[in-house]
Amino acid sequence: MISINDSSEFESMKMRSVGLNAWFGAKQALKDINVAVKANAVTAIIGPSGCGKSTLIRCFNRMHELVPGAKTSGQVLLDGKDIYSGDIDPVMIRRRVGMVFQKPNPFPTMSIYDNVAAGLKLTGMKKGKNLDEVVRRSLEQATLWEEVKNDLNNPGTSISGGQQQRLCIARAIALQPEVILMDEPCSALDPIATARIEELVVQLKNQYTVVIVTHNMQQAARVSDFTAFMYLGRLIEFGDTSSVFENPRSELTEKYITGKFG
Amino acid sequence: MHRLLDTGLEQLTTMVHKMGEVAEKTLATSIGGFVKGRDTSEGVHELSEMLVSMTVEVEEKAFGLIAKYQPVASDLRIINSYMKVAYDFERYGRYAWDISFISKRMGKLENCEEWIPQYIGDMGEKVLQMVKISINSLKSLDTELAKSVTKTEQEVDDMYFQYLGKLVEQSGATNQCTISSILVVRYLERIADHATYVAEAVVYIATGQKITLR
């Protein structure tokens, strides 16, 4: 495994895990993960099914613990503060570290507008000019505004799959998170919708820190600045994306990204 | 696990290795002909043209593999390097043609002072040795063999500059001989450079390290 503990930059990263382990009941899904996520960059996590990619990002916003029987040990630091320490409210962590899922999941009974506004309303924001402004800004940042600006009261599920995924990104952005976690956000989308999301991911890093789990090697190569390769719950290699895809240091990484196993 | 890409890579490898064999034959014919005073221009020209066509085929095959399979890591390094190596082999052919053309156009070395054919023959031997190393190391991906070109390349460079110096200081060579031989030693020096580029590509394919062997 390539350790990044020695990196002088490691301490100043937006997020990092230190000796992170995670379990589903007796089954250990993550083993001693030390990985760092740089601010305003896209970090891709790749690896074969079951390697722990999704579990890792779910530990990054404390969603893993919502699964019955799930537990973690070790640390996940957000701006240097352990998000698992006793005085931390997990709900606040999930506001600061948003998540976009594999399948677009707009709230089915809500309009496009309300889908974006839902999180803000839960935080106490009332309907009005300010809310309208946040909804518009979020949809603009998700590059969806021009396509839906005249249909804001239509159901969130009335738009295409690719648009629904951008709506979910707008919903995450509305809460002004610092980090956006994306768990295979394009796996249910066609190539055109995928290209839109990829363009969006690259734009988003100007304002947010992005971590994306993907099965698509070329997608990781296209959109990310850093790539982590995981296998059997361990971090095998971490580095800048061009190095990982041109000249990986680990033979396992080489075999996986060239399609020789996995 | 056999991948669809592997079939394409195997075909590309066969094409590049075949090019290497043709390039070596072209150079050996051309240099040998020049030193021994034989007109090889027609045959060398044919071989040189064949190398041009083969380069286009390698490029088309490589582009096809990139477009179809989006290769990464060692696969990408191999394809990228093969495209460069194909160009180097094409240049071997071009210089071989230049040498045989000069021989035909400017005359043989028989009218030169005695030391000149011997000198160019020795330099040609060294260059052919480098070409063989470059091609054999590519076939075996033997990085140590590839790196061994550095010493000979330095010797060829030294011979090139020594030759120019000797011509200026010592020779009473005719203009015809001077022009002809200077052009040929220059071509030989460039062939040696391309042999070094091939060797550098071998190291890159095998290790991912971009090194300079000059």
- Decide if A121 touches B, using CB distance below 8 A: no
Chain B closest-CA separation from residue A125 CA (Å): 47
Residue among A253, A257, A261 minimizing CB distance to B1 = A261
User: For all residues of chain B together, what is the average pLDDT?
Assistant: 93
Query: Which CATH number is B45's domain given?
Result: 1.20.58.220
Residue among B72, B77, B208 minimizing CB distance to A257 = B72
Cβ neighbors of A163 (< 8 A, separation 6 or more) are A144, A147, A148, A193
Residue B213 lies in a domain: no
- Decide if A7 touches B, using CB distance below 8 A: no
Tell me whether residues B73 and A259 touch, CB distance under 8 A. Answer: no
Q: Are A19 and A26 in contact (CB under 8 A)?
A: no
**What backbone phi and psi angles, to 5 degrees, belong to B2?**
-85, 130
Cβ neighbors of A66 (< 8 A, separation 6 or more) are none
Axis crossing angle, helix A161-174 with helix A191-204, rounded to the nearest 10? 20
Q: Report pLDDT digits (tens) over B61-98.
A: 999 999 999 999 999 999 999 999 999 999 999 999 99
- How many domains are there within chain B? 1
| Helix runs in chain A, H state only | 53-60, 90-96, 112-122, 129-141, 145-148, 161-174, 191-204, 217-223, 241-246, 251-257
Q: Report pLDDT digits (tens) over A229-261.
A: 999 999 999 999 999 999 999 999 999 999 988
- Closest to B107 measured CA to CA, from B179, B185, B16, B157: B179
Residue B212 lies in a domain: no
Residue B168 lies in a domain: yes
How far apart CA B205 and CA A235 sit, in angstroms, is 26
Q: Walk me through the domains of chain A, giving residue ranges and CATH numbers.
A: 7-104+178-257 (3.40.50.300)
Q: Report pLDDT digits (tens) over B17-57.
A: 999 999 999 999 999 999 888 899 999 999 999 999 999 99
Residue B10 lies in a domain: yes
Q: Report pLDDT digits (tens) over B167-209.
A: 888 766 677 788 888 999 999 999 999 999 999 999 999 999 9
Residue B214 lies in a domain: no
- What value of ipTM does the predicted structure carry? 0.73
pLDDT of amino acid A7: 54
Q: Are A148 and A166 in contact (CB under 8 A)?
A: no
Residue span of the structural domain in which B144 resides: 4-207
- Closest to A150 measured CA to CA, from A196, A111, A194: A111
- Provide the whole-model pTM: 0.83
Residue among B1, B3, B74 minimizing CB distance to A254 = B74
Q: Which of A217, A218, A257, A261 to mutate to test the interface with B (most CBs of B within 10 A)?
A: A257
